Structures are given as C-alpha cells and as structure tokens.
Amino acid sequence: MKKPLQRTEIPVHEKWDLTHIYPGLEAWEDDYGRALTLMAEAASYEDRIDSGAQLLAFLRTNEELSFLYEKLFVYSSLRQDEDTRVTETQALLDKARSLGVKIKSAVSYFRPFLLSLEKETLDRFIGEESGLDYFKKDLYEEFKYKPHVLSKDKEEVLAQLGEVLSVPKTVFGMINNADIRFGDVTGEDGEKVELTRGMYARILEGTDREKRTEAFHAYYKPYVGLKNTIASTLASSVKSNVLFSRLRGYESPLQRSLFADNVPVSVYDNLIQTTKNHLAPMNRYIDYRKKRLGLEELRVYDLSVPLVEDFQLEMPYGEAYETMLQGLVPLGEEYMGILTQARTSGWIDVRESQGKRSGAYCWGPYGTHPYVLLNYNETLDSLFTLAHEMGHAMHSCLSDANQPRISAQYTIFVAEVASTVNEVLLIQHLLGTTSDPKLKRYLLNHFIDTIKGTFFTQVMFAEFEKIVHEKCAAGEALTADAFSEVYLSLFQTYNPGVVTDPELQYGWSRIPHFYNAFYVYKYATGIASAVRIASRILEGDQGTVESYLAFLKSGGSEYPLELLRRTGVDLMTPEPITELLLLFDKLVGQLEAL
C-alpha cells in the first residue's frame, strides 16, 4: 500500500487554487472586519423596519453579510481540509464558525418580525420600493409559513426547547460514533481483532463467506444489545416530529417536511406504491446473484460481494478525465468547454495526501467557481466519483453564472440529479465502447448495485419512516419490537428471496438518517429523475439536452418539481419511477446474458 504523499509533492495542476477566493490571509481578515461592520448594521434595524425603504435597506445589508460570510467560511473550510493537522487553519475555521453564530443571533429578530406582519402591510412595503422586487419571491416564500407560526410567547418557548428536542439525535450520534464497540472477528493472521466499520465493508465485499457471516453477527451484536436504548431515542425523535406538526397546524409530519419544497404528499406515496408494484426485477436480480455465487440461499451478507472475480482496472487521473469527457460529449459544446477548462483552472484537488480530509465533495462560494475535493486512487470507482463531483460542479457553475445571488442555490431535492446524470452517461458510454466481457459484467454489476442502494433501499427507508410516524400519531407505542416488526416486514418485501438472520430485524437501529425524518426519499427521486433525463439524451433528444442545461442554469429560481417538469420529468406521475425500474430489469437481463 502506497504511503500518502506530502502536499508539497503534488504538482500544482493537481491542486485547487484558493487564491481565486482570497489571495492570502490579509484579504480574509479584511473581509472578516467588513462582516463585523455589516453585522452591527444589520442588527441595528431591529424595531426600526416600518417602511419599504427600511425593509430594503435591511435586506441588502443582510444579503451582503450572508455572501461575505459564505466566502469566509468556505475558504477557511477548504484550507482546513487540505491538511486537517494544521493548527493555524483550525483556528481560522473556528473563527469563521464563531462569526456565523454571532451573525445568526444578530439577525434572529427578522423572521419573527416578517411573520408578524399582515400580508397587506408586506404588499404595501413592496409597492413602495421597486428594489424589493428582487427580494419579493423570497419574502412571500417565507411568508407562506405564517399560518404555521404560533404566538410570540409560544415561539420563544419552542425556540428554548430546540436544544432539548435535539437530544435524541445527539444521543444516537454519541452511541453510534463514540461509544459503540463491535464484536471480534478473525483477522488475516488467525488472531481475533475488534471489528471496525471500514473493516466490515471490506469483509462484506470479500469472497470468504465464513468471514462475512462472522462479521455480520459481530457488527449487529452491539445494536441488538442496545435495542431498547436506541428504540427510546428514535421513538423520542418521532414523537417530537408528530408533536411539532400538530402544534404548527400541519396535517402530518410528512406534510410538514415536504412543505418547504412545495412537494405534495402524493409524490411520496407515488414513489413507494409504484416501486412496490414493480419489485419483480429485484426478485430476478436476487435469484441471479444467488446462482452466480453458487448459494442455496442468499443472505444479507451476500449482497455486496462483487459478481466479477479478480477484476482490477487501473486508470491514471489524466486518462480518467479524458474518459469522463468522452462520456459526457452528448451534453454539448458549452458544457464540455467549461468541463475541459475546469481541469487546469484550479478547481480540483486530486490526490490523497498526509492529513487531507478523506472522501470527496464539491463546494464553493458564489462569485468564484466550485471547488472539488478528491482522493483519486486510479480505480474505476474513483472515475465514477470524479464524474459525480464534476456533475455537482457544473450544476453550481452554470447556476451561479446565470442566477443572481438570491436564487443561485439549488435545493437538496435536485442536488443529486446532475451528479447522477453524469454517472449514467459515463457508464453507458463505457458499456457501449468496451469489448471486454469482464469489464462489461463489472460495469453492469456496479450500475445495478448503485440503483439498488440509491433507489430500492432508500424507498424502503422512506416507507419505514412513514409507517412509524403514522403509528405514533395514532397513539401506538414505539418499542424495539414495534420498530423491528415494521423493518423486517419491509426488508422482506423489498428484498424478495433473501433469507433473514434474526439480527436483521434490528436494522432500523443503525440508520442515522432516521433522525432527519423524510429526507432519504430524495435520493430515490433524484436517481429516477437523472435516469430519465440521461436516457432521453442518449436517444439523441436535443430538446432534452437544451431543457436539461436550462435546468442546471435555473438554480433555485423555482420549486424543484417545476424545474424537473421542464426537463420532461414529472414526479407527480409513476412514469419516471417505472422507467427506472424497467432499466433495472434490462440491466439484470444484460448481466444474465453475459
């Protein structure tokens, strides 16, 4: 295994260039001082906004302050991620975080003030000042929460309860990340070693079924032992969601969660029901996997084993970038031109190095360009990670270039569409250009398992969340047994033919997303949307290319369902979901044929 490089050993053209945000720390400190001045100015409008002119003055100051803070925070975060061991950048990031807390406190009065206004008063303010047209959409967007806001006294009480009500999530995080210890497994030298999460993932992808079985039982052992404790934290989280929804006058916790994106509950229900109506392809894939692995029965610890043995493909970064470009040619000259330029323009931090943050992401402040962090290791997975993150980068770049600050940020609901479109176009390009049957099988297996994890598993989680919240609203007790009954039933529905070990019913106890309710369905709608868009593009539909680029340029200027509808994706209907499921079936058929 190669030792990670020192950052100084990496060529300049494979490192991002943060001087595009600030030429140095002196410029950062200058903007920090400006932010403090703007913060005091924004705070001074408390109890003084009594006209359109005053409202406009506050909003302009607040927007400038938000823009400046984003720039300060992103820069310090990116510097820190270059080498997390450097105390100077740790201090810089802490300083930025502290500023963020102060800013939030300084302008916390504005939302309650806005929602205390009568609509006629807000209309009058907007009529008085033409400059408020720029902020009009956001003001009315915020104003739609007015029916769900309580009296000032009650809002203050709820605000004070905020920290208390976050306890279930905090407690689970401490259990899951700090305190939990997994059982022992047999190491490579035959000695017993304590299992870690990283080790568990590697073992599940290995060919030794005895070790996979041992690791599965060791991994679940602490969750089973803590089932009642974790059930109480999850039940408390669900009860808080139900209580707050009732207090604020929402029909359900689900409706409250979807309210911000203007997504009707029928979209959520359609996703679940359409998937459950088309589970035959999953059954087919599980049968194929069982035969391919030569097993009489397939268990959960057999689901991650690659179906192509001894396959390795090394691809240097330069070749990977060129391969990605070739796969994305259907997106047109404008897209390709920016993507080509990004490679040598200080956007991407390519190599793993000592102290560098692990993983991959895309981030950047409005007014510069996106920055992409990679830890490229010359594997096929790294190629797909590159394509994924550059999808995010292109979405942000095109949005920032075509939208003002106020509407440039797109919502989480559509955030994974661009990244997944890139992945789908790339994998279809690779499938269409390789004659190597082993590579083809690997790619098909990769694509199938991506859909399985990003779509089927997330829909199952989404239905679990819906059921347990409905049980709570109906006054039913949420115990470990109650959670397990729901989870096991759903797992058997969404994974037909998989034989379940007793521990599996406690799968709910290890999912952090359940403490951020009704979030995971967005992964499923995202991949369904992306597959539909990519399929039309690959069919040569120029109209879809144009509407998709327009979507990328639209940022957050409209609600997400409307933006997607313009690309031909209507999530109010079953079609995008059924199209994804048909593709899944087709991919399984191709894998069987090989």
Other C-beta atoms within 10 Å of 536: how many? 20
Burial status of residue 558 (CB atoms within 10 A of its CB: 0-12, 13-18, 19 or more):
middle
Helix (H) or strand (E) holding 154: helix 152-165
CB-based contacts of 82-91 (< 8 A; 24+ apart in sequence): 82/7, 82/349, 82/353, 82/355, 82/356, 83/7, 83/353, 83/354, 83/355, 83/356, 84/355, 84/356, 84/357, 85/354, 85/355, 86/355
* DSSP letters spanning 192-203: EEE--HHHHHHH
Q: How far is CA 31 from the centre of its chain?
A: 30
Share of the chain above pLDDT 90, in %: 84
What pLDDT, in 10s, does the model give residues 430-468? 999 999 999 999 999 999 999 999 999 999 999 999 999
Q: Which CATH architecture has domain 317-442+522-557?
A: Orthogonal Bundle (1.10)
Q: Please write the tens of the pLDDT for every residue from 15-74.
A: 999 999 999 999 999 999 999 999 999 999 999 999 999 999 999 999 999 999 999 999
Q: Say if residues 427 and 384 touch (Cβ distance below 8 Å).
A: yes
Residue 156 sits at φ, ψ, to 5 deg, of: -65, -40
DSSP 231-289: HHHHHHHHHHHHHHHHHTT-S-HHHHHHHTTT--HHHHHHHHHHHHTT-HHHHHHHHHH
Residue that has been written with the tokens 């969660």 in this structure: 257
Give, for 421, the enclosing helix (H) or strand (E).
helix 412-433
- Range with the poorest average pLDDT among 101-105, 153-157, 509-513, 520-524: 153-157
pLDDT bucket at 2, cuts 50 / 70 / 90: low
CA distances from 513 to 162, 358, 461, 518 (A): 19, 21, 9, 9
* Token output for 134: 């720029």
Domain ranges of the chain: 7-149, 167-309+456-515, 317-442+522-557
User: Alpha-carbon distance 464 to 100, whole Å?
Assistant: 36
The phi and psi torsions of 21 (rounded to 5 degrees) equal: -95, -55
CB 466 within 8 A of CB 238: no
Which position has the token pair 């031909």? 568
Chain mean position to CA 569: 20
Residue 85: CB atoms within 10 A of its CB come to 10
Alpha-helix residue ranges (DSSP H) falling in 452-541: 457-473, 480-494, 521-538
Q: What's the fold here for domain 7-149?
A: Butyryl-CoA Dehydrogenase, subunit A; domain 3 (1.20.140)
**In the block, which residue shows the tokens 């989480």?**
412
Joined tokens for residue 85: 């061991």
Amino acid at 349: D
pTM: 0.92
Which has the closest alpha carbon to 200: 222, 226, 233? 222
Q: Regarding predicted confidence, which is higher, 262 or 594?
A: 262
Tell me which range, 126-135, 190-199, 433-442, is most confidently predicted by mean pLDDT.
126-135
CA dihedral 366, 367, 368, 374 (to 10 degrees): 10
What DSSP designation does 12 have?
G
The model's confidence at residue 166, banded by pLDDT at 50, 70 and 90, is: confident
Domain 167-309+456-515 architecture: Orthogonal Bundle (1.10)
What pLDDT, on the 0 to 100 scale, is given for residue 202?
A: 86
Q: Any idea what DSSP says for residue 310? A: T
pLDDT digit string (tens) for 70-129? Answer: 999 999 999 999 999 999 999 999 999 999 989 988 998 999 899 999 999 999 999 999
195, 184 contact by CB (below 8 A): yes
Strand partners, 192: 186
Give the confidence band of 1 by pLDDT, cuts at 50, 70, 90.
very low
Q: Helix axis angle, 542-553 relative to 380-402, nearest 10°?
A: 70
Contact 359, 462 (CB under 8 A): no
Alpha carbon distances (Å) from 200 to 174, 182, 204, 277, 445: 20, 10, 6, 33, 20
Confidence of residue 153 (pLDDT cuts 50, 70, 90): confident
Q: Is the pLDDT of residue 585 over 80?
A: yes
The answer to whether 329 and 540 are in contact (CB under 8 A) is: no
**How many other C-beta atoms can be found within 10 angstroms of the C-beta atom of residue 10?**
16
Residue of 350, 395, 387, 341 whose CA lies nearest to 370: 395
Q: Is 146 helix (H, G, I), strand (E, B) or coil?
A: helix
What's the pLDDT score for residue 155?
75
Angstrom distances, CA of residue 412 to CA of 71, 270, 409, 525: 20, 20, 9, 11
- Under the banding of pLDDT at 50, 70 and 90, the label for residue 333 is very high
Of the given ranges (149-153, 376-380, 397-401, 571-575), which has the lowest mean pLDDT? 149-153
pLDDT tens-place string over residues 227-243: 999 999 999 999 999 99
Q: Answer with the residue of higher pLDDT: 364 or 108.
A: 364
Catalytically annotated residues: 389
- Residue 28 is encoded by which pair of tokens? 């950062």
Do the first three CATH levels of 7-149 and 167-309+456-515 match, i.e. the same topology? no
Dmax (CA) of the chain = 79
